[in-house]
Amino acid sequence: MPTIFVSGASGGLGAALVGAFRQDGASVYAGTRSPAHPGDVDLNVRLIPSCEDAVRSVVDADGGIDILINNAGMHLAGPVASLDQDRFKETLDVNLLGAWRLTRAAVPHMRRGGTIAMISSLSGLVGLPDDGAYAASKFALEGLSQSLAAELAPAGIRVLLFEPGRVATEFAGVTDGLAPEIAARAIVDAIARRDTPFRNPIGEDAARVFEALGVDRGERSEALVRAVTGCDWQPRTGA
């Protein structure tokens, strides 16, 4: 039975991911600022000690982590030139550094064959008006994930990116679009496959954006990384 740790799991897509993994019989831990249910873990991704304590509680219970889902996030809207500096920093701190902190804490305890899934966004591919802070955080997350994929491949750990389209979670004010349970099932099923590419659209609108932009699912970027450094993104799962 695999051990799953999902951040940002108090509601929305995070809670739906927890539910989908549990339907499949996994041992799932839900990272949340307000633990209230069995399997909830107190987690504030803005604090290194909190990330380390949360990971330690999961490892103490199950011995290791098979799948880490970096889902915690926040949204800040507004024109770039008028953004509040502290709120901009907070957005980067949660969406980018939060994923880094939790990954940093979890990697030493991840089992070979494991997966780190980053919940990115179409805003990590296209910067829209009044969305610059969020786009900056997600563009940066995409770059961090590429480097991480090459670094962790020798340890047998793969990194996957997911770019959902509109999901009806009320995040960023979105109330229409894909049901979070459907989005979560698509992500869970993709993680279960070993041939899933590095970058993955979730939802028909996301698939259309990928097609319109000719988005690299990972093959071209990996080839460039291999040409420059000799590293690839294919996990080595042997001993």
Composition of the chain by helix, strand, coil, percent to 5: 50, 20, 30
| Set 134, 162, 198, 233: catalytic member | 134
Using CA atoms, how far apart are residues 102 and 191, in angstroms rounded to an integer?
19
Taking the C-alpha atoms of 196, 217, 46 and 15 in order, what is their torsion angle to the nearest 10 degrees? Answer: -50
Using DSSP, state whether 157 is helix, strand or coil: coil
Length of the chain in terms of residues written: 239
β-bridge partners, 123: none
Contact 187, 19 (CB under 8 A): no
Q: Give the helix/strand (H/E) hosting 118.
A: strand 110-119
29 belongs to the catalytic site: no
Using CA atoms, how far apart are residues 39 and 61, in angstroms rounded to an integer?
10
- Positions marked active-site: 134
